[in-house]
Amino acid sequence: MYAATVYAVASKSKPDPSTLFADLVRCETRLYNALNDRLRERHGIVTSQYEFLHYLREHPESRVADLATEFAVGIGATSKGVDRLERHGWVARRPNPADRRSSLLVLTDDGVRLVDAAEQTFTDRVAELVEGALDPVRASAGAEVLALLRAALERDRIGMPTG
């Protein structure tokens, strides 16, 4: 598989959709697993927990629905993830004055300390993994391509969970 992918990039030919999909998914899985390992080892959390905490730090008073939309995850799974963060004392739910049916999510002081500590680990590990595989020009080009693909999928609401 690897040789076929490199050939498609080097020759600028149209990539095989199956290979492109496999490469994207396998890269994501391996990156996620490597981040899980490092975050668990150093901070006792996994990547999904870090991502939720980081999002809530950057977007205070978000709702579960906001997290679900951002991460393209179902509301039920998102709510369960928030429940786990709440049980650990990292997140608190506050009444939403604009909608009694939803809560606003806020980081606790412990949640802020945790995400602040884990952020450097996360950033360093991503940089280490990317820089170990790609030169800066290719990393930049890859980031641009992924951002364009993500923007198009989000714009057209493709791949959004139904529940």
CATH of the domain at 95: 1.10.10.10
Q: How far apart are CA 99 and CA 115, in angstroms?
A: 28
pLDDT of amino acid 7? 46
Q: How far apart are CA 126 and CA 90, in angstroms?
A: 24
* 68 found inside a domain: yes
- Per residue in 9-43, pLDDT (tens digit) is 555 688 899 999 999 999 999 999 999 999 999 99
* 32 found inside a domain: no
Q: Which residues lie closer than 8 Å to 70 by C-beta, 6 or more apart? A: 55
* 112 found inside a domain: yes
* 125 found inside a domain: yes
* 37 found inside a domain: no
- 104 within 8 A of 62, measured Cβ to Cβ: yes
In this prediction the pTM is 0.85
Q: Domain limits at 68?
A: 44-155
* 3 found inside a domain: no
* 52 found inside a domain: yes
- 78 within 8 A of 39, measured Cβ to Cβ: no
Number of folded domains that form the chain: 1
* 146 found inside a domain: yes
Q: Tell me the pLDDT of the chain averaged across its residues.
A: 91
Q: Is 62 helix (H, G, I), strand (E, B) or coil?
A: strand
